[in-house]
Structure 1
Amino acid sequence: MTSDPLLRLDGDYFDGNGSTRTRIQLALYADGQVVIGEQQSARVLIRLEQSEVRISSRLANSPRYLDLPGGQRVETLANDGVDQWVARFRPGLAQGMVHRLEANWRFVALTLVLVVASVWGTVNYGVPYLSQQLAKALPQSLLNQASEQTLAVFEKVWLEPSQLDDQRQQQLLTHFEPALTEYADLGLKVIFRHSEAIGANAFALPDGTIIFTDGLVNLSEHDDELVAILAHEIGHVAHRHGLRRIIQNSMFLFVLAMITGDVSGTADLVLGVPILFAELAYSREHERESDQFALDYLQRHQIPPYRFADLMKRLAKQGGREEGDGQGLQQYLQTHPHINERVEAFQ
């Protein structure tokens, strides 16, 4: 090995036993011999064949890593020199492929389009489908446990015992009996609670427990209006909307982490906004499904659908949402479809 080297590379040498770095110069010879020596003292640290060195792929002008068989590593910014090494001793299409693609703006643009399309497809189709299948697969015992814990929290924070007298509660339960019997396989149970915080409302838990607030009962002017609301809530239970929403929210966080590498800071804000809009859109779609479920029930049992519309308009007026509200951006920030859309199908 008396000839001059083909190339010399400056870099940092790590012996594999610690983080201490040593400035070195690597010499590559025509016969494939590699000699690594200290820059300051010219002392030879290691000799080996170039075939024993594992070379990292090039990515723009980031450092290249030359991993040695004994666990040592050389880090160098001499990318052009390493490329010459690869071209001389390791020719092949795959070498430098990442760098060539990364430097091609057409490929970068195509990749960006594919990433955006993949995220859009995942959020709009993949997540809803998977959440629906997972919700169907979960055992009833898990639904019961989740619902019990949720109800316990609600009763501690927002719900109080109902102020409706026993006769009124029993009257409503008797009126609800045909619907509860028809969907007995869902394990439905209706309870009444008072809540100043929640006001006039009704909601369903995953295990089939449906809660009516005193405010909603008092707001109604006909018991069939409450049957219409009951049918809507049964729709949520039948479609497992509560579970699907929990699963979807978890999947959104996973998608966000996959895109950004974390779920904090600016990435959380910038990419979380479109995901928030998507989640709200799912919530509105769940409400539409339950509205259709209620409409089908009312028509099947010859209950005037306008009963639902009348109570919904009263609820909207009480909540300050008159007809015409919720246009533009505000419409997209609502968890429920606009009141005009909802009552139209029931009139």
Structure 2
Amino acid sequence: MKTSHPSSPAYYIGLMSGTSLDGIDAALVAITPDHPPTLLATAAIAMPDALHGQLLHLCHASSASFAELAAAEDAFCRVQAKAVQALLAERGLAPEQITAIGSHGQTIEHAPQGHQSGPAYTLQLDNPSLLAELTGCTVVADFRRRDLAAGGQAAPLAPAFHQALFGQRPGEQLVLNLGGFANLTWLPHQPAYAVMGFDTGPANVLLDAWFAKHHAGRFDENGTWAASGQIDEALLARLLEEPFFQQVPPRSTGRELFHLTWLEQHLSGYEAHQDVQATLAELTAVSVAQGVALLPLEQPSATLLVCGGGAHNAYLMKRVAAQLPQVTLLSPASLGWPEDWIEAGAFAWLAHQRLHGLPGNLPSVTGASGPRVLGGMYAP
């Protein structure tokens, strides 16, 4: 593990593959004491079609063999290694110049409340030992289970990073991540309040699944298909009856609840396909607005920083803006962190926290019994 002078930046790489399963994001981050993390470079590796299919199958399989899990994990790890190597090559860095890689892994199932009276669990496919071998870098991984062991939801973890990035900005800040699922962070202006953060509901996970069912391709680029439809208010009302939307935070969710079969169970069979897509976008926007309504906002207006792949969906962003007229939308790119890289950056920062023995969770977000140092370390 590389050591550095206290005043010099240390380099970390964060790896993230979200519930959208579209690829591996790698972010090279410089961390200097007493300064917000700085994004230096990025690399993205698209998820190979075969691996995308494997992972999607595992996310919805009622059972899977150890051989299937091992094959998917091995292939996933090798794509991660390619992303790291691409980043190192772009910046002309050697592995020993990287203090650590923070690897989130690929979530296969997330059940913080347990399943059928069983224990709480969250499962991310990952092989940090192999990743350390392939890259020559120290790897920090398995970030979620320590928070879960302390009674937390193990998610979302990004709000602590949002606080490190944007917590010193003047005024009240909201951060919305529109990935496979949408999660919201509130950074209060007054120190008397604790940071809040929670999942608001589905985002790209249902939009992508419905699009892929009716079109070639994985996603509705720019929301063009959704924009061609009409919002079906009756369908929207049925979808919003899902008890998750009435839960009080802390809360998190995943593909275990929101998936294509769940959607199809709410359809009458008479809806136009493009109207369903438009309604799914509205479901995301309305559930985000419902989440904002749960926050003890201090001011009449707040700044909303939107990140994740959904930030590029023009129709979805239009609906979010319509549902939240009281907020000012701001691209985090204007603050040095483009929309696509905040989640990967979070795991670079979490690796830094682990190596320095600092907490990575926020109990006010996850519901854990206290701050915890997250993750395990794997030397090259």
TM-score range normalised by the length of the shorter chain: under 0.3
TM-score (norm 1): 0.27
Decide which structure has the larger Cα Rg and report it: 1
Higher RCO, 1 vs 2 (CA within 8 Å, ≥6 residues apart): 2
